[in-house]
A and B are shown apart, each in its own frame.
Chain A
Amino acid sequence: MGRTLAEKVWDAHVVRRAEGEPDLLYIDLHLLHEVTSPQAFDGLRQAGRPVRRTDLTIATEDHNTPTLDVDKPIADPVSRAQIETLRKNAAEFGVRIHSLGDVEQGIVHVVGPQLGLTQPGTTVVCGDSHTATHGAFGALAFGIGTSQVEHVLATQTLPMAPFKTMAVTVEGALPEGVGAKDLILAVIARIGTGGGQGYVIEYRGQAIRDLSMEGRMTVCNMSIEAGARAGMIAPDETTFAYLDGRPHAPRGADWDTAVAHWRSLVTDEDAVFDKEVVIDAAELSPFVTWGTNPGQGAPLAESVPDPVAIVDPVERAAAEKAIAYMGLTAGQKLRDIAVDTVFVGSCTNGRIEDLREVADIVKGRKVADGVRMLVVPGSVRVSLQAVSEGLDKVFTEFGAEWRYAGCSMCLGMNPDQLAPGERSASTSNRNFEGRQGKGGRTHLVSPQVAAATAVLGHLAAPADLSTAGV
């Protein structure tokens, strides 16, 4: 019987297989950042173990880093101490690091792909759940905890429990004004935040193949929000074109060898998935969340649901609680929800294409009264590219704040936070209670919806701008 893409990549990385034990998998690339690594390095130190493969390991600073005054010492002493800990650990163990101020610094999931380190058919891990992003290249990429970070540092392997396979096939072409973020939010709403548990999802179909690498990364990034262990897309010409010429991509004869191998990384026609979900792209539309988990979303044209109509008692209770926390009322039109803040950035939507989409919409317009907009590029490279295209000017003339690269308001570990009760439209990945700041209320949106919302001051799609005459 044929194998799925995920099974092929998995099988190619089994170091040891024994009855009754999890497979021991080899890890091709280990990405580190300051938050989930200090205790792992401590463990190595206590056991007197080195980093086995410093040449397959790379660190960057992203979660804690400020997006203002980056040339000054970090104001928060606890954040500063954590970042300094990463720098010390990298120096002590010989790990390459891109620190704040370095041209290659940025969000770990933006940095790996742009350096060409993320390649088809490889295994990638990072102590961050959004490692799923790298699956956009046909890599098998897992978010791991700190104990596993230590395990990979020490052994370059991980014992991994077997997974199930799920195909999410998006047939047909996405309608105008509907993008990768709308697609993945709709998928999560459909299968639920636990629907992917135990599965590696492979995204397939025309709408997926039509996506750019940036769009594919957006889709795979949020696989974890559906509970999946990883998300993948088979590599194709779009993947190869993105990789060609990147600093760590193979060159010359190696490139040809690599591409030939990469072309084999597709699910065999006779392979069987454990679960299949089919979505008609034509039925998708701009999609936003109304609740406090990423599965609590709906098309922008709809309303906040009435929990009374929800049959499952656990789901109903969750919806009631979410609506109360979000300060909404059942039946309220989603378009009537006014926001205080618009956040554009994160490992979900902080890449150059995302910034271009936003700039296209806000160019020549003014931000709505009383709305604060932050634009935070995913990496310094993205920032430089945006500046070279004049996008920074477009944002500042619109009335947005153009910031330095990092995770920023996606999780508010740095000073970029919502105040209690404040409401955001955010291109990030999680709308959990307090995620963007204590008491903050988050609506997850696409870059296009974020831009239109910033113009109108309430949740909106670009098509609403002409209707509103702005």
Chain B
Amino acid sequence: MEAFTTHTGTAVPLRESNVDTDQIIPAHWLKKVTRDGFEDGLFEAWRKNPEFVLNRPERAGATVLVAGPDFGTGSSREHAVWALQNYGFKAVISARFADIFRGNSQKGGLLTVVLPQETVERLWALTEADPTAEITVDLVGRQVRAGELVADFEIDDYTRWRLLEGLDDIGLTLRHEDDITSFEADRPGWLPRTQPVG
């Protein structure tokens, strides 16, 4: 995973609540067996509308998505995170994220930043008025800065450390393989097995 420390870029203000994962990446894109090539599927249905914010020429190259509350609801598809990353987004700001989406984003290094809806509204106003306005998402300082706006955000220390270091979860867990093995030794024998143990 690519490490995330701080990122500055222009934004896409997405004035929508409950942006579900079927909107982020429709199901027919889920037939792919790779982690890349999802950028054209991002918000596919909404992008059919030429006025959709992502289609506006002044939003080209934007890397920070500022969305309404309950972003990423619905399916567990990590393809939603990949689609956002493949398109070029580095961070998503919202007042609330669905749990699974947030977990997936943290695995893949897409930073999800929770800020109060009032702050999201200010970021919308700022970036709608000036599409060249940049937003800085600073994971080191746990802070979002844009123009006059400075907003601190919360993220747990462990997740922050993993993202800052770009660490692979599996590698971290396997450092404790002895703990797993000893836990397994104590599991009751009557627990279900999907097949006979060889």
A and B pair up? yes
Complex: chain B residue closest to A52, CB-CB: B180
B158 and A145 within 8 A (CB): no
| Given the contacts A148-B103, A318-B18, A194 and B96 also touching, CB distance less than 8 Å | yes
A159 to chain B, nearest CB (A): 7
Q: How far is the CA of A161 from the CA of B117 in the complex (A)?
A: 24
Complex: chain B residue closest to A291, CB-CB: B18
Q: Answer whether residue A248 sits at the interface, using C-beta atoms and an 8 A cutoff.
A: yes
Interface size class of A (residues with CB under 8 A): 35 or more
Interface residues of A in 181-211 (CB under 8 A from B): 193-194, 197-198
Q: How far is the CA of A151 from the CA of B107 in the complex (A)?
A: 10
B75 and A433 within 8 A (CB): no
Provide the residues of chain A in CB contact with B45, threshold 8 Å.
433-434, 438
A22-33 interface code vs B (CB 8 A; 1 in, 0 out): 101010110000
Q: Answer whether residue A69 sits at the interface, using C-beta atoms and an 8 A cutoff.
A: no
Q: Answer whether residue B169 sits at the interface, using C-beta atoms and an 8 A cutoff.
A: yes
A198 and B190 within 8 A (CB): no
Of B28-36, B84-92, B135-143, B144-152, the one touching chain A: B28-36
Q: Answer whether residue A384 sits at the interface, using C-beta atoms and an 8 A cutoff.
A: no
| Given the contacts A15-B179, A127-B76, A293-B73, A248 and B17 also touching, CB distance less than 8 Å | no
Q: Answer whether residue B156 sits at the interface, using C-beta atoms and an 8 A cutoff.
A: yes
A145 CB contact (under 8 Å) in B107, B179, B195: B107
Complex: chain B residue closest to A38, CB-CB: B33
Complex: chain A residue closest to B108, CB-CB: A147
Q: How far is the CA of A198 from the CA of B34 in the complex (A)?
A: 30
B170 CB contact (under 8 Å) in A29, A96, A150, A248: A150
Q: Answer whether residue A469 sits at the interface, using C-beta atoms and an 8 A cutoff.
A: no
A193 and B73 within 8 A (CB): yes
B5-27 interface code vs A (CB 8 A; 1 in, 0 out): 00000000001111010110011
Q: Answer whether residue A79 sits at the interface, using C-beta atoms and an 8 A cutoff.
A: yes
Provide the residues of chain A in CB contact with B33, threshold 8 Å.
38-39, 42, 81-82, 85
Q: Answer whether residue B51 sits at the interface, using C-beta atoms and an 8 A cutoff.
A: no
B118 to chain A, nearest CB (A): 12
Q: How far is the CA of A16 from the CA of B28 in the complex (A)?
A: 39
B22 and A434 within 8 A (CB): yes
Provide the residues of chain A in CB contact with B34, threshold 8 Å.
38-39, 42
Q: How many residues of B contact A (CB 8 A)?
A: 63
Q: Answer whether residue A1 sits at the interface, using C-beta atoms and an 8 A cutoff.
A: no
A122 and B192 within 8 A (CB): yes
A35 to chain B, nearest CB (A): 5
Interface residues of B in 99-118 (CB under 8 A from A): 99-100, 103-104, 107-108, 117
Complex: chain A residue closest to B174, CB-CB: A155
| Given the contacts A22-B158, A82-B33, A145-B103, A36 and B170 also touching, CB distance less than 8 Å | no
Interface residues of B in 159-198 (CB under 8 A from A): 169-170, 172-174, 176-177, 179-180, 183-184, 187-197
Interface residues of A in 30-59 (CB under 8 A from B): 35-36, 38-39, 42-43, 47, 49, 52, 54-58
| Given the contacts A116-B192, A227-B70, A227-B73, A412 and B27 also touching, CB distance less than 8 Å | yes
A103-143 interface code vs B (CB 8 A; 1 in, 0 out): 00000000000001101001000011101000000000001
Interface residues of B in 42-91 (CB under 8 A from A): 45, 68-70, 73-79, 81
Q: How far is the CA of A55 from the CA of B30 in the complex (A)?
A: 27
A-B contact pairs, 25 of them (CB 8 A): A24-B173, A35-B30, A36-B30, A38-B34, A57-B194, A119-B192, A129-B75, A144-B76, A145-B78, A146-B104, A148-B107, A155-B174, A155-B180, A156-B180, A161-B156, A193-B70, A194-B96, A197-B98, A197-B99, A227-B70, A250-B190, A293-B73, A314-B68, A315-B17, A432-B20
